[in-house]
Amino acid sequence: MQYIEGYYQKGKAKVRLLHTSTNTKSVDVYINNCLLLKDFRFKYSSEYLNLPEGSYQIDIFPEGVSNRPNLTKYLKVIANKSYTLVATDQMDALQLLVISDDEFVHSGETKIRFFHLSPNTPTVDIAIYKGDTIFPHIEYGEVTDYLSLIPMTVDLEVRKVGTKEVTFLLKRVNVKPNLAYTIAIVGLTEENLHLEAIFLVP
């Protein structure tokens, strides 16, 4: 991935991008017709970009192509807000999800949320390893609310909704104080690309 110099602008809205489309190869990302990210690949995430409040056009092209985008999305950002833009689903149905981020954490605490981004994985629950469910019934494309926690290291399970059947195990998840975490579940179930977790902070 390569950032294109010169597009960082002083502003109050913050925007980052995440690529979770399993069969979409490297892409170039344009904002208002200016090349922003080059060679942006599956599982890549960008740093936050500072943008003035206002409306923007986001275009995602195959790498090196600039005449026919895979996707165009119009976005309005508000001052003092943070956003994550997620390129997801398969190439022929590519979509860009927009979620709001919240960096605030009470001193000495931590918080986490989960984002279900595996297009062929059914609805899931997130639970403590061999324990209680902490995030129930998360559908594809859905992000949970944040859960405030005491900083800890914990094993978690992604389960088939309403059951004890484990789809994916997250071992030794270490959440540190004064940080907010988004844990994105990406990849595919029962195919060449197994499920993986991407940790975004905040």
CATH value at residue 71: 2.60.40
Looking at the fold, whether 122 and 195 belong to one and the same domain comes out as yes
Residue listed under structure tokens 């904002």: 31
Bridge partner list, 126 = 135, 158
Residue listed under structure tokens 């990210």: 37
Looking at the fold, whether 6 and 93 belong to one and the same domain comes out as yes
- pTM given for the model: 0.91
Quick check: helix, strand or coil at residue 91? helix
Task: Give the length of the chain.
Answer: 202
DSSP 143: B
Looking at the fold, whether 97 and 123 belong to one and the same domain comes out as no
Reported as a pLDDT band with limits 50, 70 and 90, residue 189 is confident
Boundary (domain end) residue, out of 71, 101, 131: 101
Looking at the fold, whether 117 and 79 belong to one and the same domain comes out as no
Domain that holds residue 84: 2-101
Boundary (domain end) residue, out of 101, 136, 152: 101
Looking at the fold, whether 6 and 97 belong to one and the same domain comes out as yes
pLDDT attached to residue 7:
46
pLDDT attached to residue 12:
83
The per-residue pLDDT for range 66-115, each reduced to its tens digit, is: 889 999 999 999 998 999 999 999 888 899 999 999 999 999 999 999 99
Looking at the fold, whether 163 and 181 belong to one and the same domain comes out as yes
Quick check: 32 and 76 in contact, CB under 8 A?
Answer: no
Looking at the fold, whether 75 and 127 belong to one and the same domain comes out as no
Please provide residue 93's backbone torsions phi and psi, each rounded to the nearest 5 degrees: -135, 30
Does residue 185 have a pLDDT over 50? yes
The per-residue pLDDT for range 47-63, each reduced to its tens digit, is: 999 999 999 999 999 99
Phi-psi region of 22 (alpha: psi -120 to 50; beta: other; left: phi over 0): alpha
The per-residue pLDDT for range 2-28, each reduced to its tens digit, is: 545 444 455 689 999 999 999 998 999
Boundary (domain end) residue, out of 101, 124, 140: 101
Within a 13 Å sphere around the CA of 198, how many CA atoms are in the beta-carbon half? 20
The per-residue pLDDT for range 146-171, each reduced to its tens digit, is: 999 999 999 999 999 999 999 999 99
pLDDT attached to residue 11:
61
DSSP3 helix / strand / coil % (the chain, rounded to 5): 0, 55, 45
Looking at the fold, whether 116 and 90 belong to one and the same domain comes out as no
Reported as a pLDDT band with limits 50, 70 and 90, residue 173 is very high
Looking at the fold, whether 38 and 83 belong to one and the same domain comes out as yes
Looking at the fold, whether 29 and 64 belong to one and the same domain comes out as yes
Nearest to 111 by CA among 102, 120, 121, 119: 102
Looking at the fold, whether 146 and 169 belong to one and the same domain comes out as yes
**Domain count of the chain?**
2
pLDDT attached to residue 151:
97
pLDDT attached to residue 1:
60
Looking at the fold, whether 87 and 153 belong to one and the same domain comes out as no
